[in-house]
Amino acid sequence: MRPYDIDKELKILRPLRYKKYSQLRRIVFNIIFNMSLYFTKPTKGMKKKTYVIKGYQGKKIKIFVLKHKDETKNQKGLLYLHGGGFQIEGTLVHLRMVSDMIDDSNHLAVFVKYRLAPKYPFPIGLEDCYQAYLWMINHQEMLGININQISVAGDSAGGNLSVGVALLARDRLKRSFERMLLFYPVIDHRQITPSMKMFDDTPMWNSILNKSMWETYLKDGDFGMLNYTSFLISDLHGLPTTYIETAEYDCLRDEGIWFAEKLKKLGIKVVERHMEKAVHGYDAVFFSKFIRKRIDERTAFLLGELDHEEN
């Protein structure tokens, strides 16, 4: 591995580098992460409830609803879609991060356990997430949310799903999310950026894993829906105000930057944060000051406190 100058708070991630995800590794990771999700408690003052809902084609999926114990009516909502290369379950880190974001911003969150590749390739996971959004709309009174004030957020592959759901909502429902937050997102299946060619040995994620991810996710084809998962070739009109984080040592870095530029050319408000000396998936170092600052800025964006920044 090349000697990347990684931030001292993130150096614990340096040994975590892989060249492939074997089926055994997927199984082991998903067993561990599934257990961690069910036993992880949300931030103090929050509560978590599990629901079984209808996903794509009526198949059952699970979601977690995270909200304040002191419930309020007509609050804002957040649809959170976790990362994991479209193949790996969400983790306790994801749940704690979402809990912290909504605790500080007074949102209710829906965390989606969408179905995963390779067993369930594109567009099944995306359509599961879209069904979770419809569930939020259809259960607005029970949840106590304002359906005109729902935001969507996701990290890595979850960022890809977030944009995809936003485009589906635009095209099928003529609806828009209030805000969209993307953390080191997967953006383009073509993998043509300079950073994609540059970073084939970085910790946490690299271009070799990225290539394998797309081959696995699209193994059954795109069903004429490629514009809902590869966004540098998509029509992005009508997307909401967007917050994007990118990492210096991440093969996905330039995709995020190019995506932000494309949004800005359409007149869409974008708040960008580029993390120097950072690698993909830095949220894994959850209790660091580095991540605490990220949580604070994400919360500020949800609250509209960064809207003064110019494109």
Q: Which of 151, 156, 230, 234 is catalytic?
A: 156
Query: Any catalytic annotation for residue 212?
Result: no
Q: Are 249 and 278 in contact (CB under 8 A)?
A: yes
Which CATH number describes the domain made up of 8-302? 3.40.50.1820
Catalytic option among 82, 94, 107, 280: 280
Q: With a cut of 80, say whether residue 248 has pLDDT above it.
A: yes
Helices (H), 44-200: 92-105, 124-138, 140-143, 157-168, 194-198
Region 271-280 average pLDDT: 98
CB of 271 within 8 A of CB of 243? yes
Residue of 34, 150, 9 whose CA lies nearest to 94: 34
| Domain regions of the chain by residue span | 8-302
Share of the chain above pLDDT 70, in %: 98
How would residue 308 be classed by pLDDT, with cut points 50, 70 and 90? confident
Residue type present at position 190: R
pLDDT at 299: 97
Determine whether 280 is an active site residue. yes
User: Out of 128, 250, 254, 283, which one is annotated catalytic?
Assistant: 250
Confidence (pTM): 0.95
pLDDT of residue 111: 98
Asked whether the predicted pLDDT for residue 1 surpasses 70, the reply is no
Q: Which residue from 173, 152, 172, 171 is spatially nearest to 163, judged by alpha carbons?
A: 152
Q: Is 103 a catalytic residue?
A: no
Count CB-CB contacts under 10 A for residue 136.
Answer: 21
Q: Choose from 23-27, 69-73, 104-108, 146-150 the range with maximum mean pLDDT.
A: 146-150
pLDDT for res 214: 98
pLDDT 10s digits, 26-73: 777 778 787 777 667 777 788 999 999 999 999 999 999 999 887 778
CA distance to 83, 99, 291, per residue, from 36 (Å): 15, 15, 20
